[in-house]
Structure 1
Amino acid sequence: MTPEDRFPGPEHPDSGPRHQPDLDVLPYGTYYEPDPSGGYPGTAYEAETYSGYGGARYLEQHWPAAGPEHGHTVHAHGPEPAHGEHPGYEPTLPDHPSPVRGDDPPTIELGPPLPEPGLPYHPYPAPAPGEPPGPLYVVGDVHGYLDELRAALRHQGLIDEGGHWSAGRARMWFLGDFTDRGPDGIGVIELVMQLAAEAAAAGGYCRALMGNHELLFLGAAKYGDEPVQSTAGTASFLAAWRLNGGQQHDLERLEGHHIAWLRRLPAMALEDGHLLLHSDTTAYLEYGESIAEVNDAVHDLLSGEGVDEWWDCFRRFTKRFAFRGDAGPMAVRELLDIYGGTRIVHGHSPIPYLTGAVHADDGVPPHIPGPYVYADDLAVAMDGGVTMEGRLLVARLPI
């Protein structure tokens, strides 16, 4: 198991292992379903598709079809955080997640996560004058896996062979968590910054949300070993960052322009009826009653000098699983009622943990066909578990 988001905190006064409550209740949902013939935006395969399973709605992924030999990809992983007891630290995910419920629907393969050499790609055509905004894409948690990110973007025709924006007026949102656990977090940040400039020049845009690992990384750089208030004992951003997969070479390469860009990232956004969040939590409600209020509150916090306030914000946005189980749809609707939109799209909680499809005893990586729709079809999970040999997900959302 890949340890996820371990840190000391005031909610848990002891340091013993705890299991997330209600983890045996799996969400009612399923994966996106592609057209078996593949296709690209603007082709005959662009229409949405629907499933007859319990009325769950599928959204088309537009990944080219491929043979059965591409069931999963093994990634070259960087070092993982140590797994085991640590005073004041504990995982928020279970050591033994529940198995997938017997009546869960079958998953449908989307094609190879990484393109084979010579695989053709189809750049988004240049828009005509007056053409409406381009298609909307979202990218799940990257966690330093730069090569996988480039391959996934190239697979969708969003970048060219040289790694430059090739999607015209298309729009793309990264859902946060660029660093930690993987081999090149700074490289990921620099690529996203580069694409943001290139997309703007082409009439589209590439934007990003702040994830809890951005808060942790920036906190480690700013406060280091300075103690923070925690009833679990002495804690610091640097210790928590290291325990959560922080890579020393990322910290050594972090420069002022990276920090300035990261600190300006919004916590949430609304695009075409999709409420975009990093974390599947209702903690956003504690920072404001509008998207602007939440984003301003987080930016003000990061501009101040309060280490405890910064730590508390990190703690809140590391919570997860609010949209699972019987109460999940109610939590989603509460956020949608306050901030707008008709569906939440989030990262943060790896799909293998949401569904129970974690590593089997034989070490076979989890099978992640694509983004996961759940909570009465109101939530879409985008963290494909790239840190646990899942996949890095890039998906087109309906406009």
Structure 2
Amino acid sequence: MTPEDRFPGPEHPDSGPRHQPDLDVLPYGTYYEPEPVAGYAGGGYEAETYSGYGGARYLEQHWPAAGPEHGHTVHAPNGQPEHPGYEPTLPDHPSPAHGGHPGARDPGAQSDDPPTIELGPPLAEPGLPYHPYPAPGPGEPPGPLYVVGDVHGYLDELRAELRQQGIIDADGHWSAGRSRIWFLGDFTDRGPDGIGVIDLVMQLAAEAAAAGGYCRALMGNHELLFLGAARYGDEPVQSTAGTASFLAAWRLNGGQQSDLERLEGHHISWLSRLPAIALEDGHLLLHSDTTAYLEYGESIAEVNDAVHDLLADEGVDEWWDCFRRFTKRFAFRGDAGPLAVRELLETYGGTRVVHGHSPIPYLTGAVHADDGMPPHVPGPYVYAEDLAVAMDGGVTMEGRLLVSRLPV
């Protein structure tokens, strides 16, 4: 089905070992092992962020999260329905959780999308004070930059790492002031709570905006797979491995039925609009360690527009082809690896690629330890003549969920 990505893990973290099959890989780089964080030094921005409505809760308050079939009407604070007559865009082929069947479309659905998280700070609850952070002044430097590797539904591990880095507080709210953070994609599948991960990232996006920072995310191949499973279900696709479907491939690659059942319209709209590639402080941020991005455009804007247009207008086979391309991996290993990285940097800019997708234990060949212990992942993995930084710590195989401050 998808041999480059066929590493399904257990449905729950306590259901057994998460070790994965060996791959024929050799180490080509070195680890970066940061000093232990003894508290967040936020450059003077340590004050807590008020977060009355954050992320998914903000959307739920101000935009419909489900259609009329769920009996859900959104009201403004004055008690009147907000955006009367609006019904959110749902997938063309709703999942069973949406009460649909393959090929069904809600005739009343409009093409309008809900607002992006970054439209503004969250609104305060009535009766509670709201003190937004001031916007950065002219010439004021931006806050520190962080990246997060593949999460794959491991919500508790994500919260623990973000807390350890001082990005969230004990209650799970943004506490990093004007810091900036990029998630490198793959929120769902294999782990137990992918929707919980998405909700947390959306919440932090709203809270960070109120604090003068930001929380953003890239689209990974598992976002393409998850959205494809929700939209196309068992509709056949043309696969090099024979007749397949998005739903079958999603299940094969660790798809969790509970995530599909909890997927709502605002999740779909948010995921569908994630960029595929970004440039931040000289770091070219990608999900996959592949040169397939070059096939979608000669600039970052062209690549992102091409992927968004494909998801909006193209059919199941084009969507599947996009998923397959971004599932490729290991382009930056070996003697030709630096050349591949340089081609991406020369095309899109930046001085170093930072990516997720391929677990570091596969890149280093340390999938299984001789003593049977989980793979040792002390930090991000720098390789390809120091031009590439791998951030997938292998949380699905008892490695680590990595959150790291750039530059490494």
Normalising by structure 2, what TM-score?
0.72
In the alignment, what sits opposite 2:31? Answer: 31
* Bigger mean CA deviation after superposition, 94-103 or 9-18: 94-103
Q: Which digits, 9 at most, give the CA deviation of each residue in 1:139-184, with x for residues without a partner?
A: 0000000000000000000001110001111000000000000010
Using the TM superposition, give the Cα deviation of residue 98 of structure 1 relative to its aligned residue in structure 2, in angstroms.
41
User: In the alignment, is the contact (CA less than 8 A) between 1:98 and 1:356 conserved in 2?
Assistant: no
In the alignment, what sits opposite 1:10? Answer: 10
User: In the alignment, is the contact (CA less than 8 A) between 1:27 and 1:355 conserved in 2?
Assistant: yes
User: In the alignment, is the contact (CA less than 8 A) between 1:39 and 1:62 conserved in 2?
Assistant: no
Give the length in aligned residue pairs.
Answer: 396
For the aligned residues, what is the CA RMSD? 16.4
Q: 2-side partners of 1:374 and 1:4: how far apart?
A: 20
Q: 2-side partners of 1:114 and 1:368: how far apart?
A: 40
Q: Which digits, 9 at most, give the CA deviation of each residue in 1:103-127, with x for residues without a partner?
A: 9999999999999999999999997
Would the alpha carbon gap of residues 52 and 326 (structure 1) be closer, same or farther in structure 2, given more than 3 Å must change?
farther
Using the TM superposition, give the Cα deviation of residue 230 of structure 1 relative to its aligned residue in structure 2, in angstroms.
1.9
Using the TM superposition, give the Cα deviation of residue 46 of structure 1 relative to its aligned residue in structure 2, in angstroms.
16
Q: Which digits, 9 at most, give the CA deviation of each residue in 1:73-116, with x for residues without a partner?
A: 999999999xxx99999999999999999999999999999999
Q: 2-side partners of 1:360 and 1:68: how far apart?
A: 53
Would the alpha carbon gap of residues 99 and 381 (structure 1) be closer, same or farther in structure 2, given more than 3 Å must change?
farther
| SS of structure 1 residue aligned to 2:60 | coil
In the alignment, what sits opposite 2:255? Answer: 246
Would the alpha carbon gap of residues 61 and 332 (structure 1) be closer, same or farther in structure 2, given more than 3 Å must change?
farther
User: In the alignment, is the contact (CA less than 8 A) between 1:145 and 1:183 conserved in 2?
Assistant: yes
Would the alpha carbon gap of residues 73 and 273 (structure 1) be closer, same or farther in structure 2, given more than 3 Å must change?
farther
Q: 2-side partners of 1:180 and 1:191: how far apart?
A: 16
Q: 2-side partners of 1:323 and 1:284: how far apart?
A: 14
* Bigger mean CA deviation after superposition, 189-198 or 56-65: 56-65
User: In the alignment, is the contact (CA less than 8 A) between 1:351 and 1:372 conserved in 2?
Assistant: yes
* Bigger mean CA deviation after superposition, 189-198 or 66-75: 66-75
Using the TM superposition, give the Cα deviation of residue 5 of structure 1 relative to its aligned residue in structure 2, in angstroms.
1.7
Q: In the alignment, which of 86, 92, 109 is matched to residue 83 of structure 2?
A: 86
Q: 2-side partners of 1:4 and 1:327: how far apart?
A: 19
What is the 5 A alignment of 1:1-399?
A: 5-6=5-6, 26-35=26-35, 40-41=40-41, 131-398=140-407
| SS of structure 1 residue aligned to 2:62 | coil
User: In the alignment, is the contact (CA less than 8 A) between 1:8 and 1:90 conserved in 2?
Assistant: no
| SS of structure 2 residue aligned to 1:129 | coil
| SS of structure 2 residue aligned to 1:296 | helix
* Bigger mean CA deviation after superposition, 155-164 or 354-363: 354-363
Q: Which digits, 9 at most, give the CA deviation of each residue in 1:201-222, with x for residues without a partner?
A: 1100000000000000000000
User: In the alignment, is the contact (CA less than 8 A) between 2:25 and 2:364 conserved in 1?
Assistant: no
Would the alpha carbon gap of residues 194 and 50 (structure 1) be closer, same or farther in structure 2, given more than 3 Å must change?
closer
Would the alpha carbon gap of residues 6 and 221 (structure 1) be closer, same or farther in structure 2, given more than 3 Å must change?
same
Which consecutive unaligned segments of at least 5 residues does structure 2 have?
A: 98-109
Would the alpha carbon gap of residues 362 and 119 (structure 1) be closer, same or farther in structure 2, given more than 3 Å must change?
farther
* Bigger mean CA deviation after superposition, 154-163 or 362-371: 362-371
User: In the alignment, is the contact (CA less than 8 A) between 2:54 and 2:202 conserved in 1?
Assistant: no
Identity %: 90
Q: Which digits, 9 at most, give the CA deviation of each residue in 1:217-250, with x for residues without a partner?
A: 0000000000001242210000000000000000
Q: 2-side partners of 1:99 and 1:70: how far apart?
A: 13
| SS of structure 1 residue aligned to 2:401 | coil
* Bigger mean CA deviation after superposition, 289-298 or 32-41: 32-41
Q: 1-side partners of 2:314 and 2:278: how far apart?
A: 26
Q: 1-side partners of 2:68 and 2:38: how far apart?
A: 15
Would the alpha carbon gap of residues 77 and 57 (structure 1) be closer, same or farther in structure 2, given more than 3 Å must change?
closer
Q: 1-side partners of 2:407 and 2:247: how far apart?
A: 40
Would the alpha carbon gap of residues 11 and 279 (structure 1) be closer, same or farther in structure 2, given more than 3 Å must change?
farther
Which consecutive unaligned segments of at least 5 residues does structure 1 have?
A: none
Would the alpha carbon gap of residues 72 and 49 (structure 1) be closer, same or farther in structure 2, given more than 3 Å must change?
farther
Would the alpha carbon gap of residues 242 and 86 (structure 1) be closer, same or farther in structure 2, given more than 3 Å must change?
farther
